[in-house]
Structures are given as C-alpha cells and as structure tokens.
Homo-oligomer: A and B are copies of this chain.
C-alpha cells in the first residue's frame, strides 16, 4: 500500500519541476453548480497534464545506473508526454508504446519531447507483449501509467496542493471530483487528503461506457468495461481499475459519478468561457460532474480537478 509519506517523498523529488497549479473560480460556474466550485487546472501543468508528476516521481526514483539505459512506457498520450519530458530532463532515452488512434497532438508532442514512439493497434495488438520485448532487448525500466507506487505517490502531490489551497479558502468540507482512468490520480489524491484534509472526500468521475471504477466501487471488486467501447475521453479509457489503486479507491472514495459526452463538451465550453482554460474531454469529466450532477453531491462546496488539456483544435471547436 502507498502511504502519505510516499507522497511527501515524491514531492521532495519533484521539487519545482511540476507547477503548483492554482485553484480557479468563477461566480458564473458557482451558479450552475449550485455551490462554490473551484477548479484545479492540471491542464496548465507542464506537458499539459498531471501525468508529469507521476512520471517525474517514478523516473527520479530509479537508481542512476539502471535509469541510464532508458525507460519505457505505454500510454494513450498524457503519460507518454510526461514520461518523455521527464526522461529527457534526466538525460535518458525513452521508448513510448502508443495506440495508433491516439490524438495526433499527443503522438507528435511525445516525439517532440525526444521519445521514440512505437505505435500499435489497440483493438488487435497486445501492447504488453510489445513493451515486454522492447524492455528486455534494451534493458529499459518500465514506468506504468498508474499501477506503480512511485507514480501514484507523484500524482498524490495534487492532493497535497488541494489540501493547502482549500485550507487557505477556509473550505473544510468539500467533494473533490477527479477524472478516473486507472485510478492513479484519484487514489493518490485520496491518500493525501485522508491525512491532512479529512473533510475533503474524493469522488471518481468517469464517462458513460467507461464506468468501471464506479461499478467496481459498488461491487467491492474490480470489474472491467465491456471491450470495444469508444469515447471522446481518450485519456481515461482504461479497461479497469488497477490492482494497486483499487484497494485505496475502495477504502477512501465516495461513490463514482458518471457523465455523458454531451456534459463533457459543455463543461469544456464553460471552462473556456469562464476560466479561460483548455481542457481535454477526459480531463473535463470532473468539472462536468460538478456542474451537472450536483444532486449526487452531499457537501457545501466542490473542487473539480481538470486533469489535462491535450486536445486537438477540431475537438475543442466542437466544444465551443
């Protein structure tokens, strides 16, 4: 299990390499949400998502001699960019296995951060087999997207900041809505808040047809999504909660909240109009839940994590 102390250690390793994102606020969004709503814009994080935190935490924890031969990761895009960026900053090579249908911006950026990108078909090929072969051939250290203690601890630094910022605002009771794929960010935040802000309760948020975490929490066991589903929320279309993340989610989180694609697009448009930020679909499910599922919340205030902003112009124009 990951402990609060692991998050503090990750914070020390990350130092100033991750931006301390502010909490944004607009009275117009409060009115829609029916309560004070604060947004943690991790879309402004370096590489455009919170994933840099976990990637930096993991890569900085690998012993120098091992790290020197390089790292490998598989990711639909945001973890890829975080790992590529952190590897480059550490001066080591990175190989990233990405689905061929990932947003072009994410693939291009990953390459631009200096990584070697290997594409695969996510509906027919086994990414793990591809990754295992490359890792063995080149002696690369695997940095998993969420089921890795160092990664979860890194994402948990978002929770440390939320706790501090909520305290500055005098918020001692709030729902913290977190876009949830494999659960690395969600569990990391929940572990941090349990210790230092126990009145802040994490609620995992997911898009329709990818509500594996919400169903797993209800069933008290890990359940998978039906295969073959598609969603505009590419960043969080993970098959099921992680083996490391789920026990934390199960112990610490309130019920999941499931939002529609239309709600996601409306949340993206409102975030542009009222907060002046660009959120990608997968990063907007928490804000969508805050704005349009207020009846599922039982706290006087709400904090939504906007987890990423790596969205193509076409998709963004659709949201506007």
Contacts and interface: CB of A to CB of B under 8 A. Distances in A.
A89 to B, nearest CB: 10
Nearest to A26: B46
A22 interface: yes
A24 B309 CA distance: 14
Contacts of A269: 313
Nearest to A320: B313
Contacts of A112: 28
A309 B21 contact: no
A276 B273 contact: no
A119 interface: no
Interface residues of A, number: 33
B25 A168 contact: no
A320 B320 CA distance: 12
Contacts of A317: 317, 320
A144 to B, nearest CB: 25
A277 B44 contact: yes
B19 A22 contact: yes
A105 interface: yes
Nearest to A272: B278
A19 B28 contact: no
A269 B276 CA distance: 13
A8 to B, nearest CB: 21
Interface of A: 16, 19-22, 24-28, 41, 43-44, 46, 48, 105, 109, 112-113, 168, 269, 272-273, 275-279, 309, 313, 316-317, 320
19 contacts: A16-B168, A19-B22, A19-B24, A22-B22, A22-B44, A24-B44, A26-B46, A43-B276, A48-B276, A105-B273, A272-B313, A272-B316, A273-B313, A276-B278, A276-B279, A277-B278, A313-B320, A317-B317, A317-B320
Given A19-B22, A19-B24, A105-B273, 15 more contacts: A16-B168, A20-B22, A21-B22, A22-B44, A25-B46, A28-B112, A41-B44, A41-B276, A44-B276, A44-B277, A272-B313, A272-B316, A276-B277, A277-B278, A317-B317
